[in-house]
Amino acid sequence: MTEAHLFVIGLLLAWLAGIRAYLTVFGIGLAGLMGWVDLPPALHATESYWVLGTCGVLAIAEFMADKIPGVDSVWDLLQTLARIPAGAFLAAATLSPDGHLGAGALALGGGAALVSHGLKAGARALLNTSPEPFSNGVVSLLEDGLVLGALALAISHPWLALGFALICSLLLAMGVWLAWRWASRGLRWLGRAVSTAPPDSTSTR
Protein backbone atom coordinates (compact mmCIF):
# COMPACT_ATOMS: atom_id res chain seq x y z
CA MET A 1 0.00 0.00 0.00
CA THR A 2 1.08 3.57 -0.63
CA GLU A 3 1.50 6.04 2.21
CA ALA A 4 -1.66 7.81 1.08
CA HIS A 5 -3.66 4.59 1.33
CA LEU A 6 -2.27 3.87 4.79
CA PHE A 7 -3.12 7.40 5.90
CA VAL A 8 -6.72 7.02 4.75
CA ILE A 9 -7.10 3.58 6.33
CA GLY A 10 -5.64 4.80 9.62
CA LEU A 11 -8.01 7.76 9.66
CA LEU A 12 -10.97 5.51 8.86
CA LEU A 13 -10.10 3.00 11.59
CA ALA A 14 -9.90 5.83 14.11
CA TRP A 15 -13.25 7.21 12.95
CA LEU A 16 -14.87 3.79 13.25
CA ALA A 17 -13.35 3.26 16.69
CA GLY A 18 -15.22 6.34 17.85
CA ILE A 19 -18.46 4.49 17.09
CA ARG A 20 -17.61 0.85 17.87
CA ALA A 21 -14.08 0.48 19.26
CA TYR A 22 -14.26 -3.23 20.11
CA LEU A 23 -15.93 -4.23 16.85
CA THR A 24 -13.38 -2.23 14.86
CA VAL A 25 -10.38 -3.81 16.61
CA PHE A 26 -11.96 -7.26 16.29
CA GLY A 27 -12.71 -6.73 12.61
CA ILE A 28 -9.27 -5.48 11.60
CA GLY A 29 -7.57 -8.15 13.70
CA LEU A 30 -9.66 -10.90 12.14
CA ALA A 31 -8.97 -9.52 8.66
CA GLY A 32 -5.24 -9.65 9.35
CA LEU A 33 -5.40 -13.14 10.86
CA MET A 34 -7.36 -14.51 7.91
CA GLY A 35 -4.97 -12.93 5.42
CA TRP A 36 -7.53 -10.56 3.95
CA VAL A 37 -5.21 -7.61 4.53
CA ASP A 38 -1.51 -7.23 5.28
CA LEU A 39 -1.40 -5.28 8.53
CA PRO A 40 1.48 -2.98 9.51
CA PRO A 41 3.79 -4.37 12.24
CA ALA A 42 2.27 -2.27 15.01
CA LEU A 43 -1.18 -3.73 14.28
CA HIS A 44 -0.07 -7.36 14.48
CA ALA A 45 -1.12 -7.36 18.13
CA THR A 46 -4.75 -7.20 17.02
CA GLU A 47 -4.34 -10.65 15.43
CA SER A 48 -3.70 -12.19 18.86
CA TYR A 49 -6.30 -14.71 19.98
CA TRP A 50 -6.41 -12.95 23.35
CA VAL A 51 -7.13 -9.60 21.74
CA LEU A 52 -9.69 -11.08 19.36
CA GLY A 53 -11.42 -12.98 22.16
CA THR A 54 -11.53 -10.01 24.51
CA CYS A 55 -12.74 -7.59 21.84
CA GLY A 56 -15.28 -10.13 20.61
CA VAL A 57 -16.83 -10.51 24.07
CA LEU A 58 -16.85 -6.74 24.63
CA ALA A 59 -18.35 -6.17 21.18
CA ILE A 60 -21.22 -8.51 22.09
CA ALA A 61 -21.71 -6.67 25.39
CA GLU A 62 -21.76 -3.37 23.51
CA PHE A 63 -24.19 -4.77 20.96
CA MET A 64 -26.69 -5.52 23.74
CA ALA A 65 -26.13 -2.43 25.90
CA ASP A 66 -26.44 -0.09 22.93
CA LYS A 67 -29.99 -1.27 22.20
CA ILE A 68 -31.43 -0.21 25.59
CA PRO A 69 -32.66 3.41 25.94
CA GLY A 70 -30.78 5.24 28.65
CA VAL A 71 -28.24 2.47 29.06
CA ASP A 72 -26.81 3.37 25.65
CA SER A 73 -26.00 6.92 26.77
CA VAL A 74 -24.35 5.68 29.98
CA TRP A 75 -22.37 3.20 27.90
CA ASP A 76 -21.31 5.96 25.50
CA LEU A 77 -20.11 8.06 28.43
CA LEU A 78 -18.05 5.20 29.84
CA GLN A 79 -16.66 4.27 26.43
CA THR A 80 -15.11 7.70 26.02
CA LEU A 81 -12.19 6.19 27.93
CA ALA A 82 -11.87 3.40 25.35
CA ARG A 83 -12.89 4.80 21.97
CA ILE A 84 -10.60 7.81 21.78
CA PRO A 85 -7.42 5.95 22.89
CA ALA A 86 -8.36 3.09 20.56
CA GLY A 87 -8.74 5.51 17.66
CA ALA A 88 -5.40 7.11 18.48
CA PHE A 89 -3.68 3.72 18.59
CA LEU A 90 -5.26 2.38 15.39
CA ALA A 91 -4.31 5.46 13.37
CA ALA A 92 -0.77 5.63 14.74
CA ALA A 93 -0.22 1.89 14.33
CA THR A 94 -1.45 1.97 10.73
CA LEU A 95 0.86 4.87 9.88
CA SER A 96 3.88 3.33 11.62
CA PRO A 97 6.23 1.40 9.31
CA ASP A 98 8.52 0.32 12.16
CA GLY A 99 6.16 -0.05 15.10
CA HIS A 100 6.93 3.40 16.54
CA LEU A 101 3.76 5.36 17.31
CA GLY A 102 4.22 8.99 16.31
CA ALA A 103 2.68 11.81 18.33
CA GLY A 104 1.12 13.42 15.26
CA ALA A 105 -0.57 10.18 14.20
CA LEU A 106 -1.82 9.61 17.74
CA ALA A 107 -3.32 13.10 17.80
CA LEU A 108 -4.90 12.59 14.37
CA GLY A 109 -6.48 9.30 15.38
CA GLY A 110 -7.66 10.60 18.71
CA GLY A 111 -9.23 13.62 17.04
CA ALA A 112 -11.04 11.51 14.44
CA ALA A 113 -12.36 9.16 17.12
CA LEU A 114 -13.43 12.11 19.27
CA VAL A 115 -15.45 13.59 16.40
CA SER A 116 -17.32 10.38 15.56
CA HIS A 117 -17.79 9.50 19.23
CA GLY A 118 -19.17 12.95 20.00
CA LEU A 119 -21.60 12.84 17.08
CA LYS A 120 -22.76 9.34 17.97
CA ALA A 121 -23.20 10.06 21.68
CA GLY A 122 -24.94 13.36 21.00
CA ALA A 123 -27.35 11.81 18.52
CA ARG A 124 -28.24 8.98 20.87
CA ALA A 125 -28.73 11.35 23.82
CA LEU A 126 -31.19 13.40 21.76
CA LEU A 127 -32.87 10.23 20.54
CA ASN A 128 -33.47 9.18 24.14
CA THR A 129 -35.81 12.16 24.54
CA SER A 130 -38.27 10.32 22.29
CA PRO A 131 -40.96 8.49 24.29
CA GLU A 132 -40.99 5.39 22.09
CA PRO A 133 -38.30 2.73 22.77
CA PHE A 134 -37.84 1.22 19.31
CA SER A 135 -35.82 3.92 17.55
CA ASN A 136 -32.78 3.21 19.72
CA GLY A 137 -32.58 -0.39 18.58
CA VAL A 138 -33.04 0.52 14.93
CA VAL A 139 -30.37 3.24 15.03
CA SER A 140 -28.01 0.94 16.94
CA LEU A 141 -28.38 -1.76 14.29
CA LEU A 142 -27.69 0.84 11.61
CA GLU A 143 -24.50 1.80 13.47
CA ASP A 144 -23.44 -1.86 13.61
CA GLY A 145 -23.99 -2.22 9.89
CA LEU A 146 -22.23 1.08 9.20
CA VAL A 147 -19.10 -0.01 11.05
CA LEU A 148 -18.97 -3.45 9.42
CA GLY A 149 -19.63 -2.07 5.95
CA ALA A 150 -17.19 0.83 6.27
CA LEU A 151 -14.52 -1.49 7.67
CA ALA A 152 -14.84 -3.83 4.70
CA LEU A 153 -14.86 -0.86 2.33
CA ALA A 154 -11.80 0.64 4.03
CA ILE A 155 -9.82 -2.52 3.31
CA SER A 156 -10.92 -2.87 -0.32
CA HIS A 157 -11.58 0.74 -1.41
CA PRO A 158 -10.17 3.15 1.20
CA TRP A 159 -10.79 6.37 -0.73
CA LEU A 160 -14.41 5.44 -1.34
CA ALA A 161 -14.76 4.57 2.34
CA LEU A 162 -13.28 7.94 3.32
CA GLY A 163 -15.85 9.77 1.20
CA PHE A 164 -18.58 7.65 2.74
CA ALA A 165 -17.35 8.47 6.26
CA LEU A 166 -17.23 12.19 5.51
CA ILE A 167 -20.77 12.18 4.12
CA CYS A 168 -22.04 10.23 7.14
CA SER A 169 -20.32 12.66 9.52
CA LEU A 170 -21.84 15.68 7.79
CA LEU A 171 -25.32 14.16 7.70
CA LEU A 172 -25.08 13.12 11.34
CA ALA A 173 -23.86 16.57 12.37
CA MET A 174 -26.77 18.18 10.52
CA GLY A 175 -29.18 15.71 12.10
CA VAL A 176 -27.90 16.42 15.60
CA TRP A 177 -28.12 20.17 15.00
CA LEU A 178 -31.68 19.96 13.66
CA ALA A 179 -32.76 17.65 16.48
CA TRP A 180 -31.23 19.99 19.04
CA ARG A 181 -33.08 22.97 17.54
CA TRP A 182 -36.32 21.00 17.54
CA ALA A 183 -35.84 19.92 21.16
CA SER A 184 -34.92 23.46 22.23
CA ARG A 185 -38.01 24.92 20.57
CA GLY A 186 -40.16 22.26 22.18
CA LEU A 187 -38.78 23.05 25.63
CA ARG A 188 -39.28 26.78 25.11
CA TRP A 189 -42.85 26.21 23.97
CA LEU A 190 -43.51 24.01 26.99
CA GLY A 191 -42.02 26.64 29.30
CA ARG A 192 -44.24 29.36 27.83
CA ALA A 193 -47.30 27.13 28.07
CA VAL A 194 -46.64 26.42 31.74
CA SER A 195 -45.94 30.06 32.59
CA THR A 196 -49.10 31.33 30.86
CA ALA A 197 -51.41 28.62 32.19
CA PRO A 198 -54.30 30.01 34.31
CA PRO A 199 -53.99 29.37 38.05
CA ASP A 200 -55.91 26.48 39.57
CA SER A 201 -59.24 27.80 40.82
CA THR A 202 -59.13 25.55 43.87
CA SER A 203 -55.87 27.13 45.06
CA THR A 204 -57.50 30.58 45.33
CA ARG A 205 -60.33 29.49 47.59
User: Which is more confident, 6 or 49?
Assistant: 49
Instruction: Summarize pLDDT for 70-126 with one digit per residue, the tens.
Output: 899 899 999 999 999 999 999 999 998 776 788 899 999 999 999 999 999 888 887
Q: Is the pLDDT of residue 183 over 90?
A: no
DSSP per residue, the chain: --HHHHHHHHHHHHHHHTT-HHHHHHHHHHHHHTTSS---GGGGGGGSHHHHHHHHHHHHHHHHHTTSTTHHHHHHHHHHHHHHHHHHHHHHHHT-SSS---HHHHHHHHHHHHHHHHHHHHHHHHHTTSS-SHHHHHHHHHHHHHHHHHHHHHHH-HHHHHHHHHHHHHHHHHHHHHHHHHHHHHHHHHHHHHHTSPPPGGGG-
pLDDT at residue 50 in the model: 97
pTM as predicted: 0.84
